[in-house]
Every structure is written in C-alpha cells, then in structure tokens.
Amino acid sequence: MVRLLNVSTISIFVALAGTLFGFDIASVSGVVGTDQYKKIYGNPLGTRQGGITGAMAASSFVGALSSSFLGEK
C-alpha cells in the first residue's frame, strides 16, 4: 500500500507541475501585449521576442533538471 501511495503522490505532483507550467506560459503570452512590457523591453520583435519568451521555458527546464539534485540533499 505504501508503494501505491508513493506513486499516487508523485503523479499528483507531476500533474500540478504541468498545470503550473501551462499557467506560466499563459501568463507570459498575456504580458507580451501590454504597454509596460513594450516600454521596458523596447518593443521587441522577431528573434529578441522569442529569446525573452523562451528564457522562461529554458529556466523551467534547468529548474526541473536541478530539482532532483536539490531534493536529494
């Protein structure tokens, strides 16, 4: 029973993480069109806009990779 509980717990955390990642992506897409964003980043176009948006996904990937090492400690 304990093993089944562990699998269920891990599954719940994975589902929650996927939901939060989707929420982050939705938040970024909502912010990109605001005047404050354009003012701060100088109205980025093309590759620069992709780099700014992709930096959030890249940092999430690095965080996901490093979480196992940090969790072990």
Q: Is the pLDDT of residue 8 over 60?
A: yes
24 or 9, greater pLDDT:
9
Domain boundaries, the chain: 45-72
| pLDDT tens digits, 20-61 | 777 877 777 788 888 998 898 888 888 888 888 888 778 878
Q: What is the pLDDT of residue 36?
A: 92
Q: Give the pLDDT band of residue 6 (cuts 50, 70, 90).
A: confident
Q: Is the pLDDT of residue 3 over 70?
A: no
- Per residue in 6-42, is it b (16+ CB within 10 Å) or e — as a string? eeeeeeeeeeeeeeeeeeeeeebeeeeeeeeeeeeee
